[in-house]
Structure 1
Protein backbone atom coordinates (compact mmCIF):
# COMPACT_ATOMS: atom_id res chain seq x y z
CA UNK A 1 0.00 0.00 0.00
CA UNK A 2 1.26 3.48 -0.87
CA UNK A 3 2.40 5.73 1.95
CA UNK A 4 0.43 8.73 3.09
CA UNK A 5 2.74 11.04 1.18
CA UNK A 6 3.10 14.81 1.22
CA UNK A 7 0.03 16.97 0.64
CA UNK A 8 0.88 19.51 -2.06
CA UNK A 9 -0.22 23.11 -1.50
CA UNK A 10 -2.62 25.20 -3.54
CA UNK A 11 -5.50 22.85 -4.21
CA UNK A 12 -9.04 24.12 -3.63
CA UNK A 13 -10.94 21.39 -5.45
CA UNK A 14 -8.94 18.14 -5.63
CA UNK A 15 -6.75 16.66 -2.91
CA UNK A 16 -3.24 16.29 -4.30
CA UNK A 17 -0.58 14.18 -2.57
CA UNK A 18 2.98 13.37 -3.61
CA UNK A 19 4.11 9.79 -2.95
CA UNK A 20 7.70 9.26 -4.06
CA UNK A 21 7.96 10.09 -7.75
CA UNK A 22 4.21 10.01 -8.23
CA UNK A 23 1.30 12.35 -7.56
CA UNK A 24 -2.05 11.01 -6.33
CA UNK A 25 -5.16 13.09 -7.07
CA UNK A 26 -8.89 12.83 -6.55
CA UNK A 27 -10.24 11.29 -9.75
CA UNK A 28 -12.10 13.84 -11.90
CA UNK A 29 -15.62 13.33 -13.20
CA UNK A 30 -14.24 12.74 -16.70
CA UNK A 31 -11.48 10.40 -15.51
CA UNK A 32 -11.53 8.15 -18.59
CA UNK A 33 -11.19 11.11 -20.97
CA UNK A 34 -8.34 12.61 -18.95
CA UNK A 35 -6.51 9.26 -18.88
CA UNK A 36 -6.86 8.87 -22.65
CA UNK A 37 -5.70 12.46 -23.20
CA UNK A 38 -2.60 12.11 -21.02
CA UNK A 39 -1.67 8.83 -22.71
CA UNK A 40 -2.06 10.53 -26.09
CA UNK A 41 0.05 13.53 -25.06
CA UNK A 42 2.83 11.29 -23.73
CA UNK A 43 3.55 10.20 -27.29
CA UNK A 44 2.55 13.29 -29.30
CA UNK A 45 3.73 16.16 -27.07
CA UNK A 46 6.09 14.55 -24.53
CA UNK A 47 6.69 16.48 -21.33
CA UNK A 48 3.87 19.00 -21.49
CA UNK A 49 1.73 17.01 -19.04
CA UNK A 50 2.25 14.40 -16.33
CA UNK A 51 2.27 10.77 -17.42
CA UNK A 52 -0.84 8.79 -16.55
CA UNK A 53 0.11 5.80 -14.37
CA UNK A 54 -3.29 4.38 -13.47
CA UNK A 55 -5.37 4.30 -10.29
CA UNK A 56 -4.17 3.41 -6.80
CA UNK A 57 -5.82 1.25 -4.12
CA UNK A 58 -7.67 4.31 -2.80
CA UNK A 59 -9.17 5.03 -6.20
CA UNK A 60 -6.97 8.05 -6.79
CA UNK A 61 -5.55 9.07 -10.15
CA UNK A 62 -1.79 8.29 -10.23
CA UNK A 63 0.43 10.61 -12.27
CA UNK A 64 4.14 11.15 -12.65
CA UNK A 65 5.67 13.98 -10.62
CA UNK A 66 7.21 16.80 -12.66
CA UNK A 67 10.11 18.67 -11.08
CA UNK A 68 9.91 22.44 -11.04
CA UNK A 69 8.17 25.33 -9.30
CA UNK A 70 4.40 25.85 -9.26
CA UNK A 71 3.50 29.45 -8.28
CA UNK A 72 0.36 28.56 -6.36
CA UNK A 73 0.30 31.81 -4.38
CA UNK A 74 -1.31 34.71 -6.21
CA UNK A 75 1.32 36.98 -7.81
CA UNK A 76 4.05 35.63 -5.57
CA UNK A 77 6.78 36.61 -8.04
CA UNK A 78 6.46 38.96 -11.06
CA UNK A 79 8.88 36.84 -13.11
CA UNK A 80 6.22 34.12 -13.43
CA UNK A 81 4.13 36.64 -15.40
CA UNK A 82 6.91 38.22 -17.47
CA UNK A 83 6.95 38.30 -21.26
CA UNK A 84 9.36 35.36 -21.41
CA UNK A 85 6.91 33.30 -19.37
CA UNK A 86 4.02 34.28 -21.64
CA UNK A 87 5.99 33.25 -24.71
CA UNK A 88 6.84 29.87 -23.17
CA UNK A 89 3.23 29.35 -22.11
CA UNK A 90 2.01 30.03 -25.64
CA UNK A 91 4.33 27.32 -26.92
CA UNK A 92 2.92 24.76 -24.47
CA UNK A 93 -0.66 25.58 -25.37
CA UNK A 94 0.10 25.43 -29.08
CA UNK A 95 1.76 22.02 -28.61
CA UNK A 96 -1.34 20.74 -26.82
CA UNK A 97 -3.68 22.00 -29.48
CA UNK A 98 -1.61 20.75 -32.41
CA UNK A 99 -1.28 17.32 -30.79
CA UNK A 100 -5.06 16.96 -30.42
CA UNK A 101 -6.44 18.68 -33.52
CA UNK A 102 -8.15 16.20 -35.81
CA UNK A 103 -8.09 13.35 -33.28
CA UNK A 104 -10.94 11.36 -31.81
CA UNK A 105 -10.36 13.14 -28.51
CA UNK A 106 -11.40 16.41 -30.12
CA UNK A 107 -14.49 14.86 -31.67
CA UNK A 108 -15.99 17.42 -34.03
CA UNK A 109 -14.28 20.36 -32.30
CA UNK A 110 -11.19 22.22 -33.43
CA UNK A 111 -8.98 20.60 -30.78
CA UNK A 112 -8.84 19.66 -27.08
CA UNK A 113 -8.55 22.52 -24.60
CA UNK A 114 -7.08 22.44 -21.11
CA UNK A 115 -9.85 24.80 -19.90
CA UNK A 116 -8.16 25.67 -16.59
CA UNK A 117 -4.90 27.33 -17.54
CA UNK A 118 -3.41 29.37 -14.71
CA UNK A 119 0.00 29.85 -13.08
CA UNK A 120 -1.23 27.58 -10.27
CA UNK A 121 -1.57 24.75 -12.81
CA UNK A 122 1.80 25.34 -14.47
CA UNK A 123 5.27 23.99 -13.72
CA UNK A 124 8.12 26.46 -14.23
CA UNK A 125 11.86 25.96 -14.49
CA UNK A 126 14.69 28.47 -14.66
CA UNK A 127 15.58 29.78 -18.11
CA UNK A 128 18.01 32.39 -19.47
CA UNK A 129 15.35 35.13 -19.29
CA UNK A 130 13.76 33.96 -16.04
CA UNK A 131 11.35 31.16 -15.07
CA UNK A 132 9.65 29.53 -18.06
CA UNK A 133 6.59 27.24 -18.15
CA UNK A 134 7.55 23.66 -19.02
CA UNK A 135 4.41 21.62 -18.25
CA UNK A 136 0.71 21.97 -17.49
CA UNK A 137 -1.07 20.34 -14.53
CA UNK A 138 -4.68 19.70 -13.45
CA UNK A 139 -6.40 18.38 -16.57
CA UNK A 140 -9.71 17.75 -14.79
CA UNK A 141 -11.70 20.16 -16.99
CA UNK A 142 -10.05 19.28 -20.31
CA UNK A 143 -12.35 18.72 -23.25
CA UNK A 144 -13.05 19.54 -26.89
CA UNK A 145 -13.02 23.22 -27.77
CA UNK A 146 -11.51 26.01 -29.85
CA UNK A 147 -7.93 27.20 -29.79
CA UNK A 148 -9.08 30.71 -28.88
CA UNK A 149 -10.77 29.38 -25.74
CA UNK A 150 -7.49 28.42 -24.06
CA UNK A 151 -5.62 31.48 -25.31
CA UNK A 152 -8.31 33.78 -23.94
CA UNK A 153 -8.36 31.88 -20.63
CA UNK A 154 -4.60 32.30 -20.32
CA UNK A 155 -4.93 35.98 -21.17
CA UNK A 156 -6.94 36.85 -18.09
CA UNK A 157 -5.15 34.42 -15.77
CA UNK A 158 -1.72 35.82 -16.61
CA UNK A 159 -3.01 39.39 -16.84
CA UNK A 160 -4.18 41.94 -14.28
CA UNK A 161 -7.82 43.02 -14.18
CA UNK A 162 -9.87 45.10 -11.79
CA UNK A 163 -9.17 48.20 -9.73
CA UNK A 164 -6.66 50.53 -11.36
CA UNK A 165 -5.23 47.86 -13.72
CA UNK A 166 -4.13 49.17 -17.11
CA UNK A 167 -6.38 47.85 -19.91
CA UNK A 168 -3.72 48.66 -22.50
CA UNK A 169 -1.29 46.35 -20.70
CA UNK A 170 -3.82 43.52 -20.66
CA UNK A 171 -4.34 44.00 -24.40
CA UNK A 172 -0.59 44.05 -25.01
CA UNK A 173 -0.10 40.82 -23.11
CA UNK A 174 -2.94 39.15 -24.99
CA UNK A 175 -1.35 40.28 -28.26
CA UNK A 176 1.98 38.80 -27.14
CA UNK A 177 0.28 35.50 -26.31
CA UNK A 178 -1.41 35.40 -29.71
CA UNK A 179 1.78 36.30 -31.58
CA UNK A 180 3.81 33.66 -29.74
CA UNK A 181 1.08 31.06 -30.21
CA UNK A 182 0.61 31.65 -33.94
CA UNK A 183 4.22 32.24 -34.95
CA UNK A 184 5.20 34.12 -38.14
CA UNK A 185 2.47 32.53 -40.26
CA UNK A 186 -0.36 33.81 -38.06
CA UNK A 187 -4.00 33.30 -38.90
CA UNK A 188 -4.88 30.50 -36.47
CA UNK A 189 -6.81 32.61 -33.96
CA UNK A 190 -9.91 34.77 -34.44
CA UNK A 191 -8.38 37.60 -32.42
CA UNK A 192 -11.41 39.85 -32.85
CA UNK A 193 -13.33 37.40 -30.61
CA UNK A 194 -10.75 37.18 -27.84
CA UNK A 195 -12.04 39.93 -25.54
CA UNK A 196 -15.62 38.66 -25.82
CA UNK A 197 -14.46 35.11 -25.09
CA UNK A 198 -12.56 36.36 -22.01
CA UNK A 199 -15.58 38.30 -20.79
CA UNK A 200 -17.86 35.27 -21.20
CA UNK A 201 -15.36 33.00 -19.40
CA UNK A 202 -15.00 35.36 -16.45
CA UNK A 203 -18.76 35.64 -16.10
CA UNK A 204 -19.17 31.87 -16.28
CA UNK A 205 -16.46 31.47 -13.63
CA UNK A 206 -17.93 33.65 -10.89
CA UNK A 207 -21.44 32.39 -11.55
CA UNK A 208 -20.23 28.78 -11.49
CA UNK A 209 -18.47 29.24 -8.15
CA UNK A 210 -21.53 30.91 -6.67
CA UNK A 211 -23.92 28.23 -7.93
CA UNK A 212 -21.60 25.42 -6.80
CA UNK A 213 -21.36 26.90 -3.33
CA UNK A 214 -25.15 27.13 -3.20
CA UNK A 215 -25.22 23.40 -4.04
CA UNK A 216 -22.89 22.85 -1.07
CA UNK A 217 -19.97 21.62 -3.18
CA UNK A 218 -16.95 21.73 -0.83
CA UNK A 219 -14.46 23.20 -3.33
CA UNK A 220 -16.86 25.90 -4.44
CA UNK A 221 -17.73 26.72 -0.83
CA UNK A 222 -14.04 27.19 -0.06
CA UNK A 223 -13.56 29.42 -3.08
CA UNK A 224 -16.57 31.59 -2.23
CA UNK A 225 -15.46 31.84 1.38
CA UNK A 226 -12.05 33.02 0.15
CA UNK A 227 -13.73 35.88 -1.73
CA UNK A 228 -13.44 34.43 -5.24
CA UNK A 229 -16.96 35.37 -6.32
CA UNK A 230 -16.53 39.05 -5.43
CA UNK A 231 -13.06 39.19 -6.95
CA UNK A 232 -13.91 37.54 -10.25
CA UNK A 233 -17.18 39.45 -10.57
CA UNK A 234 -15.14 42.62 -10.13
CA UNK A 235 -12.90 41.54 -13.01
CA UNK A 236 -16.00 40.88 -15.11
CA UNK A 237 -17.35 44.38 -14.50
CA UNK A 238 -13.92 45.92 -15.11
CA UNK A 239 -13.50 44.20 -18.46
CA UNK A 240 -16.98 45.30 -19.53
CA UNK A 241 -15.99 48.92 -18.84
CA UNK A 242 -12.60 48.66 -20.53
CA UNK A 243 -13.18 46.20 -23.37
CA UNK A 244 -12.66 48.83 -26.10
CA UNK A 245 -9.29 49.85 -24.66
CA UNK A 246 -8.21 46.21 -24.31
CA UNK A 247 -9.29 45.48 -27.89
CA UNK A 248 -7.43 48.53 -29.17
CA UNK A 249 -4.19 47.41 -27.51
CA UNK A 250 -4.76 43.88 -28.83
CA UNK A 251 -5.04 45.42 -32.29
CA UNK A 252 -8.56 44.27 -33.09
CA UNK A 253 -10.27 47.68 -33.32
Structure 2
Protein backbone atom coordinates (compact mmCIF):
# COMPACT_ATOMS: atom_id res chain seq x y z
CA UNK A 1 0.00 0.00 0.00
CA UNK A 2 2.72 2.43 0.94
CA UNK A 3 5.24 1.56 -1.79
CA UNK A 4 8.96 1.20 -1.32
CA UNK A 5 11.85 3.63 -1.33
CA UNK A 6 15.55 3.55 -0.57
CA UNK A 7 15.83 7.30 -0.20
CA UNK A 8 17.07 8.79 3.06
CA UNK A 9 14.59 11.69 3.02
CA UNK A 10 10.83 12.02 2.66
CA UNK A 11 9.98 13.51 -0.74
CA UNK A 12 9.74 17.29 -0.82
CA UNK A 13 6.87 19.08 -2.56
CA UNK A 14 7.28 22.52 -4.08
CA UNK A 15 5.38 25.51 -2.61
CA UNK A 16 2.98 25.35 -5.54
CA UNK A 17 2.38 21.66 -4.99
CA UNK A 18 1.68 22.26 -1.32
CA UNK A 19 -0.88 24.90 -2.31
CA UNK A 20 -2.50 22.37 -4.65
CA UNK A 21 -2.62 19.78 -1.87
CA UNK A 22 -4.16 22.30 0.48
CA UNK A 23 -6.86 23.08 -2.09
CA UNK A 24 -7.81 19.39 -2.02
CA UNK A 25 -7.46 19.33 1.76
CA UNK A 26 -9.80 22.27 2.27
CA UNK A 27 -12.51 20.36 0.43
CA UNK A 28 -11.95 17.46 2.82
CA UNK A 29 -12.17 19.83 5.79
CA UNK A 30 -15.50 21.25 4.61
CA UNK A 31 -16.81 17.72 4.03
CA UNK A 32 -15.92 16.67 7.57
CA UNK A 33 -17.69 19.67 9.06
CA UNK A 34 -20.78 18.86 7.01
CA UNK A 35 -20.64 15.24 8.18
CA UNK A 36 -20.38 16.27 11.83
CA UNK A 37 -23.32 18.65 11.51
CA UNK A 38 -25.41 15.87 9.91
CA UNK A 39 -24.47 13.25 12.53
CA UNK A 40 -27.63 13.47 14.63
CA UNK A 41 -29.67 10.71 16.28
CA UNK A 42 -31.59 8.81 13.61
CA UNK A 43 -29.19 9.63 10.78
CA UNK A 44 -27.38 6.71 9.15
CA UNK A 45 -23.76 6.48 8.12
CA UNK A 46 -25.08 6.04 4.56
CA UNK A 47 -26.60 9.52 4.91
CA UNK A 48 -23.19 10.91 5.87
CA UNK A 49 -21.54 9.10 2.97
CA UNK A 50 -23.99 10.49 0.44
CA UNK A 51 -23.58 14.01 1.82
CA UNK A 52 -19.78 13.91 1.72
CA UNK A 53 -19.69 12.36 -1.74
CA UNK A 54 -21.90 15.09 -3.15
CA UNK A 55 -20.00 17.90 -1.43
CA UNK A 56 -16.65 16.67 -2.76
CA UNK A 57 -17.98 16.28 -6.31
CA UNK A 58 -19.72 19.67 -6.24
CA UNK A 59 -16.33 21.20 -5.39
CA UNK A 60 -14.86 19.74 -8.59
CA UNK A 61 -12.95 16.97 -6.83
CA UNK A 62 -13.25 13.19 -6.68
CA UNK A 63 -13.72 11.16 -3.47
CA UNK A 64 -10.46 9.25 -3.14
CA UNK A 65 -11.88 6.46 -0.96
CA UNK A 66 -14.63 5.43 -3.37
CA UNK A 67 -13.47 2.24 -5.09
CA UNK A 68 -10.00 2.35 -3.50
CA UNK A 69 -8.90 -1.30 -3.44
CA UNK A 70 -12.61 -2.10 -3.68
CA UNK A 71 -13.80 0.06 -0.77
CA UNK A 72 -17.51 0.81 -1.40
CA UNK A 73 -17.91 4.19 0.31
CA UNK A 74 -16.69 7.76 -0.04
CA UNK A 75 -16.05 7.87 3.71
CA UNK A 76 -14.90 5.45 6.36
CA UNK A 77 -17.50 5.73 9.13
CA UNK A 78 -16.28 4.10 12.33
CA UNK A 79 -18.70 4.06 15.26
CA UNK A 80 -17.79 3.30 18.90
CA UNK A 81 -15.69 0.09 18.93
CA UNK A 82 -14.86 0.39 15.22
CA UNK A 83 -11.29 1.67 14.99
CA UNK A 84 -10.98 2.37 11.26
CA UNK A 85 -12.36 1.45 7.83
CA UNK A 86 -15.99 1.18 8.83
CA UNK A 87 -18.22 0.81 5.76
CA UNK A 88 -21.11 3.30 5.65
CA UNK A 89 -24.57 1.81 5.37
CA UNK A 90 -28.26 2.38 5.98
CA UNK A 91 -28.27 -0.24 8.74
CA UNK A 92 -25.95 1.80 10.95
CA UNK A 93 -28.28 4.27 12.64
CA UNK A 94 -26.62 6.84 14.89
CA UNK A 95 -27.76 7.16 18.49
CA UNK A 96 -27.27 9.71 21.25
CA UNK A 97 -23.89 9.11 22.84
CA UNK A 98 -22.25 7.39 19.86
CA UNK A 99 -18.62 8.19 19.12
CA UNK A 100 -18.23 8.59 15.36
CA UNK A 101 -15.07 8.82 13.27
CA UNK A 102 -15.39 10.05 9.70
CA UNK A 103 -12.31 9.64 7.52
CA UNK A 104 -12.37 10.91 3.97
CA UNK A 105 -10.17 12.05 1.12
CA UNK A 106 -10.46 14.10 -2.04
CA UNK A 107 -8.47 14.30 -5.26
CA UNK A 108 -8.24 17.69 -6.93
CA UNK A 109 -6.07 18.24 -10.01
CA UNK A 110 -4.27 14.98 -9.22
CA UNK A 111 -3.38 15.85 -5.61
CA UNK A 112 -4.76 14.15 -2.51
CA UNK A 113 -6.05 15.44 0.81
CA UNK A 114 -6.82 13.02 3.65
CA UNK A 115 -8.22 13.73 7.11
CA UNK A 116 -10.25 12.12 9.89
CA UNK A 117 -12.34 13.64 12.66
CA UNK A 118 -13.97 11.89 15.59
CA UNK A 119 -16.94 13.50 17.35
CA UNK A 120 -19.90 12.65 19.52
CA UNK A 121 -23.55 12.36 18.61
CA UNK A 122 -24.96 14.54 21.34
CA UNK A 123 -23.41 14.12 24.79
CA UNK A 124 -20.71 11.50 25.25
CA UNK A 125 -19.99 9.38 28.31
CA UNK A 126 -17.39 11.39 30.30
CA UNK A 127 -14.57 8.85 29.85
CA UNK A 128 -15.31 8.54 26.14
CA UNK A 129 -15.20 12.32 25.84
CA UNK A 130 -11.80 12.27 27.56
CA UNK A 131 -10.57 9.61 25.11
CA UNK A 132 -11.60 11.80 22.21
CA UNK A 133 -10.08 14.94 23.66
CA UNK A 134 -6.85 13.07 24.38
CA UNK A 135 -6.62 11.78 20.81
CA UNK A 136 -7.02 15.28 19.45
CA UNK A 137 -4.25 16.52 21.76
CA UNK A 138 -1.98 13.66 20.69
CA UNK A 139 -2.46 14.63 17.05
CA UNK A 140 -1.66 18.25 17.83
CA UNK A 141 1.54 17.31 19.68
CA UNK A 142 2.59 14.89 16.96
CA UNK A 143 2.17 17.59 14.34
CA UNK A 144 4.68 19.75 16.22
CA UNK A 145 7.37 17.13 15.49
CA UNK A 146 6.95 17.73 11.75
CA UNK A 147 10.04 19.93 11.43
CA UNK A 148 13.02 19.98 9.04
CA UNK A 149 15.81 17.61 10.03
CA UNK A 150 13.70 15.39 12.25
CA UNK A 151 13.54 11.72 11.41
CA UNK A 152 10.36 9.81 10.72
CA UNK A 153 10.31 8.06 14.10
CA UNK A 154 10.75 11.36 15.89
CA UNK A 155 7.11 11.95 14.92
CA UNK A 156 6.19 8.42 16.05
CA UNK A 157 7.91 8.98 19.38
CA UNK A 158 6.20 12.35 19.85
CA UNK A 159 2.82 10.66 19.35
CA UNK A 160 3.68 7.95 21.88
CA UNK A 161 4.96 10.41 24.49
CA UNK A 162 1.90 12.60 23.96
CA UNK A 163 -0.34 9.58 24.56
CA UNK A 164 1.28 8.85 27.93
CA UNK A 165 1.07 12.52 28.91
CA UNK A 166 -2.61 12.55 27.98
CA UNK A 167 -3.23 9.53 30.20
CA UNK A 168 -1.79 11.36 33.17
CA UNK A 169 -3.49 14.65 32.33
CA UNK A 170 -6.96 13.17 31.91
CA UNK A 171 -6.76 10.23 34.31
CA UNK A 172 -7.73 7.59 31.75
CA UNK A 173 -5.92 4.55 30.40
CA UNK A 174 -5.25 4.71 26.65
CA UNK A 175 -4.12 2.06 24.21
CA UNK A 176 -2.26 2.75 20.96
CA UNK A 177 -3.74 0.61 18.17
CA UNK A 178 -1.00 -1.70 16.94
CA UNK A 179 -0.25 -1.99 13.25
CA UNK A 180 -2.01 1.14 12.06
CA UNK A 181 -0.68 4.65 11.48
CA UNK A 182 -0.03 7.47 9.07
CA UNK A 183 1.64 7.63 5.69
CA UNK A 184 3.16 9.68 2.96
CA UNK A 185 0.68 11.34 0.61
CA UNK A 186 0.77 13.35 -2.61
CA UNK A 187 -0.13 12.10 -6.07
CA UNK A 188 -1.29 8.88 -4.37
CA UNK A 189 -3.34 8.64 -1.21
CA UNK A 190 -0.96 6.17 0.44
CA UNK A 191 2.70 6.73 -0.31
CA UNK A 192 5.93 5.73 1.38
CA UNK A 193 6.76 5.93 4.25
CA UNK A 194 4.49 4.32 6.85
CA UNK A 195 4.30 6.42 10.03
CA UNK A 196 3.84 4.38 13.20
CA UNK A 197 2.05 5.94 16.16
CA UNK A 198 4.75 4.85 18.61
CA UNK A 199 8.44 4.02 18.56
CA UNK A 200 11.96 5.02 19.45
CA UNK A 201 13.17 8.37 18.07
CA UNK A 202 15.97 9.04 15.63
CA UNK A 203 15.24 6.40 12.99
CA UNK A 204 14.00 6.36 9.42
CA UNK A 205 14.20 8.92 6.63
CA UNK A 206 14.70 12.59 7.41
CA UNK A 207 12.00 15.17 6.99
CA UNK A 208 12.84 18.17 4.83
CA UNK A 209 11.05 21.34 3.87
CA UNK A 210 8.14 20.25 1.69
CA UNK A 211 7.84 16.72 3.11
CA UNK A 212 4.20 15.73 3.63
CA UNK A 213 2.75 13.07 5.90
CA UNK A 214 -0.72 12.11 7.00
CA UNK A 215 -0.44 12.03 10.80
CA UNK A 216 -3.18 9.93 12.39
CA UNK A 217 -3.18 8.65 15.97
CA UNK A 218 -5.75 5.97 16.86
CA UNK A 219 -6.39 5.35 20.54
CA UNK A 220 -8.71 3.07 22.51
CA UNK A 221 -10.11 3.58 25.98
CA UNK A 222 -8.93 1.22 28.71
CA UNK A 223 -5.36 0.52 27.61
CA UNK A 224 -3.83 -1.85 25.09
CA UNK A 225 -6.28 -4.23 23.42
CA UNK A 226 -6.41 -6.52 20.42
CA UNK A 227 -8.26 -5.71 17.21
CA UNK A 228 -9.75 -7.88 14.50
CA UNK A 229 -11.04 -7.33 10.98
CA UNK A 230 -14.63 -8.30 10.27
CA UNK A 231 -15.77 -10.60 7.48
CA UNK A 232 -16.17 -7.63 5.10
CA UNK A 233 -12.32 -7.48 5.04
CA UNK A 234 -12.39 -3.78 5.95
CA UNK A 235 -13.96 -2.99 9.30
CA UNK A 236 -11.43 -3.08 12.16
CA UNK A 237 -12.92 -3.39 15.66
CA UNK A 238 -11.59 -3.75 19.18
CA UNK A 239 -12.02 -7.34 20.35
CA UNK A 240 -13.24 -6.31 23.79
CA UNK A 241 -15.62 -3.63 22.50
CA UNK A 242 -13.59 -0.69 23.80
CA UNK A 243 -14.41 2.64 22.11
CA UNK A 244 -11.83 4.09 19.76
CA UNK A 245 -10.94 7.57 18.53
CA UNK A 246 -9.11 8.52 15.32
CA UNK A 247 -7.86 11.99 14.37
CA UNK A 248 -5.89 12.78 11.22
CA UNK A 249 -4.47 15.73 9.30
CA UNK A 250 -2.32 15.95 6.20
CA UNK A 251 0.70 18.00 7.31
CA UNK A 252 3.63 19.59 5.46
CA UNK A 253 7.05 20.43 6.88
CA UNK A 254 8.01 24.07 6.33
CA UNK A 255 10.69 26.45 7.57
CA UNK A 256 7.97 28.36 9.42
CA UNK A 257 6.61 25.33 11.23
CA UNK A 258 4.14 22.54 10.39
CA UNK A 259 1.49 23.45 7.84
CA UNK A 260 -1.85 21.65 8.11
CA UNK A 261 -3.06 21.03 4.56
CA UNK A 262 -6.52 19.80 5.63
CA UNK A 263 -7.87 22.73 7.66
CA UNK A 264 -11.49 22.71 8.74
CA UNK A 265 -13.58 25.89 8.62
CA UNK A 266 -14.94 25.01 12.08
CA UNK A 267 -13.23 22.73 14.58
Q: Normalised by the size of structure 2, how large is the TM-score?
A: 0.28
Larger radius of gyration: 1
Give 1 or 2: higher helix fraction: 1
Larger RCO, structures 1/2 (Cα 8 Å, 6+ apart): 2
